[in-house]
Structure 1
């Protein structure tokens, strides 16, 4: 499946994304219950009222977030907001992908403010983003994306309208887009454009959510069969266009899927093999798609290991931190790369081997509804191999025979 986040007219804010997901079908009761649990992690903030209601924006029926809060503080350290989000993510039982998404979204805000003001992360203060609204937008969106199972979709963003003119905030009057918006989008593959109005129509929270969610940016929709649509309304009303974020989910009709990945590289010439092995395990555990270590020779005939990591853009910062902390490397190169991948699905299949019942995960490739290829998850093979005291090779053969029988593959 593919999801298009269409922000090319009205931009994006955190509440617009959250509302569009509810409009698409995310359970609002689940979101509201989860969000209310964050109050205990952010002292001085209270949710007085939260609901989602229908409205019409310039002729477009949409959903908007009704939110009333009581705020004791109007300035907080950014790390307080971050700690609240991390604690809430564990408390409400988000999936690992949702946890990473929430974590990286608030980190994008923190890094942007840190770079703008030249302050270390632990010293950054939030003003506009200091309220519980920011937490609600991030945690609420993570819950909704989990509920709709959208983290497994290919997610595409259109170029994002950011507006123009000037805006006034805690540091005075600045040109729009503000520096925080520019910092968040810098280094991402998402294009921005002015839009149709001299106002801020993309917020820092909305930008942070988008850069950590979208796999790539495209001016045009991909070839797809439309399955569902969500419209999320912003709080403002504009003449000439609806202040609505549109999201569209569909089934891709392309034979191959195009996505964008990040490639991280660094050279290691003074670490042990044990360190490299542990590094690989940590990188994979933190979201790397693959890690390759290649031996080579550098200047002055020095032997080196070239570490190459393939990952989604939203885990880049986490993996850079892992590389540096685990190896002590002094620099990491980053580049974006487009790739074509064969569409596949992951299914769980019950099997029986030697009278024992197991469930294995398989990646399946179909063409015209006919299964052309499947691959059993190696971790499941290891578990069954150890359970039955069989070799990995023998276990894989037995599992493959069972899967073929279950899927009617000849």
Structure 2
């Protein structure tokens, strides 16, 4: 089980989060692509903060005052994976809720409505999704004291909206003597979105470490955000909810579309089981596996797409999860080489299941004109040999 740990010992901001995730090994090309669809291509460089090497992100654009609806429209049109776009939209809704709690309903975004902030959020969400993390933990976030300047004037530090977002996200804080803004509203909203509702047991070896640089470079404290990935060595347990509903007036094409939309929105799994309903009518039993804090999104999708009037909830379902990792193997064929990701599951350190990723197999099969199962067999055998 891959656990991502955020250690914001000197605060958090959007660019620091993106930089740290890139340093961990997130997909750099995808991050540049999505950020470039909002602003000019970002500068991504290795810098030093108080002697620590970190990834710095430079995003240049003007400032704009926008409503939530205007921001969401820009996010929706970004050139990003669907799951990253949906995650970014939830981040801005968290920001709007925090701003609204302090300033009233329908607030205009100021700093966080600028193109560079939108690019930071999209970049961070794209980087996070590319890491294939199973759970996320957030250690106490350092915040400063004193006063900071904002679009509304001089405010206490941390900013009221930032504190509201941290509260709503149940993020622990640590007040320090630093009189600068350590945690921004964007950083708080991203951490709240990434954090797993059920805190994982952070036990196991550290597999990767990343540092994301802040803009300032004080002499006494490294202005960086640290992240690291822990591979849990024990069988993990979590709590889920299962949603289900019966439908008898949906085509196979519609069912396929709904399942795809549910998965893109972040469902852990979704399926449709053929059933015989009352009066002998054929239908489907739709089932969705979800984290409890995400069920409202999937209820909306099921209701919108299927017109169902009732959805059953099975709450607090406990499930066991095998320790897992994604390994990448090379499949050489003629003059080309194809990279295939393979998911490996372990019990007590012993591999018990191995499965090549379908999308990688499909691309390789279409390119080299070999049966998909032939490539899958090679990739899975190669992954097991590499592990041994």
Pairwise same-fold verdict (TM > 0.5): yes
Does structure 2 conserve the Cα–Cα contact (< 8 Å) formed by 1:54 and 1:63? yes
Aligned equivalent of 1:208: 189
The 8 Å contact of residues 212 and 314 in structure 1, kept in 2 or not, is answered as no
Say if 1:186 and 1:362 are closer, same or farther in 2 by CA, change over 3 A.
same
Shift of 1:347: 9.0
Paired with 1:329 and 1:187, the residues of 2 have a C-alpha distance of 30
Asked whether the 8 Å contact 1:158–1:217 carries over to 2, the reply is: no
- Aligned counterpart, 1:108: 94
Match of 2:60 in 1: 68
Spell out, residue by residue over 1:119-139, the C-alpha distance to the aligned partner (whole angstroms, 9 max, x if none): 2xxx43111112111122112
Q: Partners of 2:209 and 2:101 in 1: how far apart?
A: 37
- Native 8 Å contact 2:49 2:218 kept in 1: no
Instruction: Give TM-score, length-normalised by structure 2.
Output: 0.68
Matches within 5 A, 1:274-289: 286-289=265-268
Contact kept in structure 2, 1:262 and 1:316, CA below 8 Å: no
Structure 1 distance, partners of 2:291, 2:242, is: 11
Deviation at 1:14, TM superposition (A): 0.2
d(CA) in 2 for partners of 1:225, 1:208 = 28
Residues 207-249 of structure 1: CA deviation (Å, up to 9, x unaligned): 121122222576x982222222111111234464221100112
Q: TM-score scaled to structure 1, two decimals?
A: 0.65
Partner of 2:132: 151
1:235 aligns with 2:225: no
Aligned to 2:297, the other structure's residue is in SS state helix
| Whole-angstrom CA distance in 2 between matches of 1:216 and 1:74 | 33
> Would you say the 8 A contact 1:161–1:195 is kept in 2?
yes
State which of 115, 125, 135 in structure 1 corresponds to 2:108.
125
Among 43, 46, 53, the residue aligned to 1:50: 43
Mapped partners of 1:188, 1:128: distance in 2: 21
Q: C-alpha separation between the residues in 2 aligned to 1:145 and 1:195? A: 28
In 2: Cα distance, 1:336 partner to 1:195 partner: 38
Aligned-pair CA distance for 1:322: 4.1
In structure 2, what is the equivalent of residue 3 of structure 1? Answer: 4
Tell me the secondary structure at the aligned position of residue 151 of structure 1. coil
Sort the Cα spacing of 1:246 and 1:117 in 2 relative to 1 into closer, same or farther, 3 A.
same
Greater CA drift, 154-163 or 14-23: 154-163
Q: Number of paired residues?
A: 347
Corresponding residue for 1:24? 24
Q: Deviations over 1:127-178 (max 9, x none)?
A: 11121111221122234335xx313342221122222333221222332332
- Whether contact under 8 Å (1:11, 1:160) holds in the other structure is yes
What's the counterpart of residue 81 of structure 2? 95
Cα deviation for residue 12 of structure 1 reads 0.8
1:10-409 map, 5 Å: 10-26=10-26, 28=28, 31-39=31-39, 47=40, 50-57=43-50, 59-69=51-61, 71=62, 74-89=64-79, 94-119=80-105, 123-146=106-129, 149-216=130-197, 222-238=202-218, 240-252=220-232, 254-257=233-236, 286-289=265-268, 311-312=290-291, 315=294, 318-319=297-298, 321-322=300-301, 341-344=321-324, 365-368=345-348, 370-372=350-352
Give the conservation status (yes or no) of the 8 Å contact 2:64–2:115. Answer: no
Alpha-carbon distance change, 371 to 62 in structure 1, aligned in 2, over 3 angstroms: closer
Going from structure 1 to structure 2, the CA distance change for 1:373 and 1:153 (only over 3 Å counts) comes to closer
3-state SS in 1 of match to 2:125: helix
Quote the Cα distance in structure 1 between the aligned partners of 2:81 and 2:108: 29
Task: Give the secondary-structure state (helix, strand or coil) at the position aligned to 2:182.
Answer: coil
Q: Secondary structure at the match of 1:193?
A: strand
Pair 345,67 (structure 1): closer, same or farther in 2 beyond 3 Å:
closer
Kindly state the Cα deviation for residue 321 of structure 1 after the two structures are TM-superposed. 4.4
Between the aligned partners of 1:124 and 1:334, the Cα distance in structure 2 is 36
How big is the alpha-carbon RMSD for the aligned residues of Structure 1 and Structure 2? 4.9
Q: Give the secondary structure class of the aligned counterpart of 2:99.
A: helix
How far did residue 189 of structure 1 move?
4.0
Distance 1:226 1:87, change over 3 A: same
